[in-house]
Amino acid sequence: MKSILEKLGIAGENYGASTGTQWIKNTGEGSIAVHSPVNGKMIASVHKAGASDYDAVVAKASEAFKVWRMVPAPRRGEIVRQIGDKLREFKEPLGTLVSYEMGKSLQEGLGEVQEMIDICDFAVGQSRQLYGFTMHSERPNHRMYDQYHPLGVVGIISAFNFPVAVWAWNAMISAVCGNTNIWKPSPKVPLTAIACQHIMTSVLEANDVPEGVFGLIIGDNNSVGERMLNDPNVPLVSFTGSIAVGRHVAATVAKRFGKYILELGGNNAIILTPEADLKMAVPAIVFGAVGTAGQRCTTTRRLIIHEDIYDKVKESLVKAYGTLRIGSPLDEKNHVGPLTDTHAVRLFEEALAAAQKSGGKLLLGGEKLSGEGYESGCYVRPAIVEAENDFQIVQDETFAPILYLIRYSGGVENAIALQNGVRQGLSSAIFTRNMQEAETFLSHAGSDCGIANVNIGTSGAEIGGAFGGEKETGGGRESGSDAWKAYMRRQTNTINYGRELPLAQGIKFEI
């Protein structure tokens, strides 16, 4: 690990604020000691940034915006392309650090960096497709069209579970749109963010990118986070995190008439009808439930099973869970790594206790693991619980590997009602070979989630589609499709190329 840290520019002590290629060397705000959930060992420390550091980063970003917005979008895309190439060069060490610092499997860590590379490729193409539309005017010799302009400084607040990919989803699209960007990563995983800043440095310097296009700020919520939310110089804040904090973000930013993108909780369900292909479904369910140790916003948390196949599915899942290998995520033979910290373990244990108190039946798992290889205290055995959809703990989202089995009877409409019967609306899936069931699930009367899949699981969205959800998931969209529009302001233009001044709606005004 020492050589990987050196390759990524991670020292024993690191600074927590950067304007792009320059670091603000403030050591007076305290520091974060970063420990790995893999083995409990300290990786490095980070000097936290304070309010004055934040102000300096924003000032530099605001100054850079005046230059960056006038750089042709395809040229901005070319710089993002080069960043993608640098990420390819550093994919293995960065992916390994993601795994070691956050706790997800090495394959998932490498996959997260691949998402960054993919979004860079997507953004390059997007830089030539920032389309507006032309409309016909009701007035003679007039032309109407709309166009999109960059917003300014975009604040990106990312969560611990995807320490680098979510930033890239936002920053690379935002950058080709002409915005400058300030990243506040989770203080649980600051080292991967610092590594990304180092990886970009040579690209920014070689292309004379204005200092401030890609800024970084690592600090406390009060001195940095709240300052960003209340800052009129940051017209858009993209926040990924809990519903409770997202509520505060929305209210605070809206109060100053700012814009926000919210990617909040997911209480995702898979429906299994009697027409499901269980050979396809079971691996998707297990990966969706235990991948990233249940710490994805798209993790499968509820499994809604028709009563005719319930016992067969339960038996298959118990057998599959029995084969899971739990241990260091750096060992590719293991399926499940640690939770991100001991606080997450405590929430896991409390959720299982609440489920059983409500009448749920623990089928297997649920214990905290100890002994050799589990010294960090962050390893647990994924749990399966028979439950009812209306249990309060089932209605809530627990960021841990707990899968609730819920029985339904009757038609697929009853299963859809159960799936939709929670406050969150991120990802959803159905396994069926029945076209009518699949199309009903995708219809206006079907899933109310932002993502609805047929014969694949809830987890593992591709970057080409817009990512996000409805209800308490926040309603935001990031990544592909036309999500780029959220990072721009829309303007309608009308041009009179005639010699008279006819008014719309036939209004006559003569002087």
Give the single-character DSSP code of 129: -
| Pairing relationship of beta strands 427-431 and 268-272 according to DSSP bridges | parallel
The gap from C-alpha 102 to its chain's centroid, in whole angstroms, comes to 14
Task: Identify the CA nearest to 170 among candidates 207, 196, 189.
Answer: 196
- State how far the Cα of 164 lies from the Cα of 246, in Å rounded to an integer: 19
Known active-site residue 297:
yes
Q: Which two tokens stand for residue 290?
A: 């235990």
Among the listed residues 334, 414, 438, the one whose alpha carbon sits nearest the alpha carbon of residue 381: 334
Give, in degrees to the nearest 5, the angle at Cα 453 between 473 and 109.
70
Q: Give the rounded distance of the alpha carbon of 15 from its chain centre.
A: 25
Q: Which amino acid is at 447?
A: S
Provide CB contacts within 8 A for 329, sequence distance 6+: 38, 99, 100, 103, 104, 105, 106, 108, 109, 337, 338
Alpha-carbon gap, residue 457 to 291, rounded angstroms: 12
Catalytic residue among 101, 211, 263, 397: 263
Q: What angle do CA 297, 303, 309 make, to 5 degrees?
A: 160
- Is 263 marked active-site? yes
Give 3-state DSSP helix, strand, coil % of the chain, rounded to 5.
40, 20, 40
Q: Could you say which of 177, 297, 378, 449 is catalytic? A: 297
Element (H, E) at 333: none
Please give the positions annotated as active site.
Answer: 263, 297
